[in-house]
Amino acid sequence: MKLLEERIQRDGIIREGNVLKVDSFINHQMDTELFWEMAKEWKRLFAGEQITKILTIEASGIGIAAVVAREFQVPVVFAKKSMSINLDNDNYSTKIESFTHGRIYDVIVSKKFLTASDRVLIIDDFLANGCALMGLLELVERAGATVAGIGVAIEKGFQRGGELIRARGIHLESLAIVDAMDARTGTIQFREK
């Protein structure tokens, strides 16, 4: 998606260790007009999939997923990363490793909000090693629901997550795939579609 690539080019900051900071428009400060353009693009790419539910994971996926849910006119559920008194005991849960926070999380969704009749579109801001998405896929599977697709804003094409997910035959649409980036020169190379 040209608009997103140009925005990453303009406002993204590359740091040593393959860190791409997009905190001015995606995952700390959020540009919801951009999210809306992304939502419309996913609507086009997943047309005919009869999505009944959007699923994401707290925290940085929620803003994008909320705008996407309004565009698809379906409810959105965010998986929680820890147990709180607002959760019942009747949940699907799994464990994932977070690259960003350097720790292991419990990821939890109430059984009430994922059912066998759901056709789920999973939305997240980043795809790198794929740990978070694999966790969400597992929750959908446990619920007996169908994964209609995965929409990711930015995929790090030089890490293995995208490859692993596509190898499972899942319809994955990353709006920008970064194949290489250089912290010294500040250059980013996007994959041609």
Q: Which residues bind a second copy (CB under 8 A)?
A: 19, 21, 23-25, 27-33, 35-36, 58-59, 62-67, 69-70, 73, 75-78, 80-82, 84-87, 100-102, 109-110, 112-113
State which residue, 23 or 163, has the beta carbon closest to a second copy: 23
Smallest gap from Cβ 95 to a second copy, in A, equals: 18
Q: How far is the CB of 190 from a second copy (least distance, A)?
A: 21
- 153 vs 190: CA distance, rounded Å: 13
Compute CA distances 175 → 8, 47, 103, 124, 181, whole Å.
11, 16, 27, 11, 17
Kind and range of the H or E element at 9?
helix 2-11
Comparing CB distances to a second copy, the nearer of 85 and 167 is: 85
Query: Which is closer to a second copy, CB of 101 or CB of 193?
Result: 101
Nearest in space to 4 (alpha carbons), one of 176, 151, 128, 125: 176
Comparing CB distances to a second copy, the nearer of 13 and 163 is 13
Cα separation, 87 vs 32, whole angstroms: 28
Q: At 131, is the secondary structure helix, strand, or coil?
A: helix
> CB of 49: closest distance to a second copy in angstroms?
19
